Amino acid sequence: QQQVKQSPQSLIVQKGGIPIINCAYENTAFDYFPWYQQFPGKGPALLIAIRPDVSEKKEGRFTISFNKSAKQFSLHIMDSQPGDSATYFCAVNSGGSNYKLTFGKGTLLTVNP
């Protein structure tokens, strides 16, 4: 059973657009929801993370929206730039205090100039 479903698989936007990437999860016990950004040939890097006691978190141009009742969370990138072109992964903490992350399959974002 896939614990976290990420969509879309790929996304193309124009510079200045607001790409939105969505993730849905099954288990209400998950307590930590990070988003990672990965450039080709590099390791993933933490972008932003949220816990279920808040519905939204902003860090610069990146925002997580969290809907606990729907068991969904999404990443919004405001004023997207070509440098934001990367693969984005959502994840859930499926391991309690051990923070065993289960990742979505990723979204390849392309921001055209």
Partner 1 sequence: NAGVTQTPKFQVLKTGQSMTLQCAQDMNHNSMYWYRQDPGMGLRLIYYSASEGTTDKGEVPNGYNVSRLNKREFSLRLESAAPSQTSVYFCASRATAGEQYFGPGTRLTVT
What does the binding site for partner 1 look like in residue numbers (CB under 8 A)? 6, 32, 34, 36, 41-46, 49, 89, 93, 95, 98-106
The position carrying tokens 């992350």 is 101
Q: ∠30-58-109 over CA atoms, to 5°?
A: 80
Q: Cis (ω within 30 of 0) for the bond into 40?
A: no
What's the min distance (Å) between Cβ of 7 and partner 1? 13
Nearer to partner 1, 91 or 111 (CB): 91
Nearer to partner 1, 17 or 31 (CB): 31
What's the min distance (Å) between Cβ of 113 and partner 1? 27
- Cα–Cα distance between 37 and 88 in angstroms, integer? 5
Dihedral (Cα; 33, 81, 21, 9), 10-degree rounding: -120
Nearer to partner 1, 13 or 48 (CB): 48
What's the min distance (Å) between Cβ of 83 and partner 1? 19
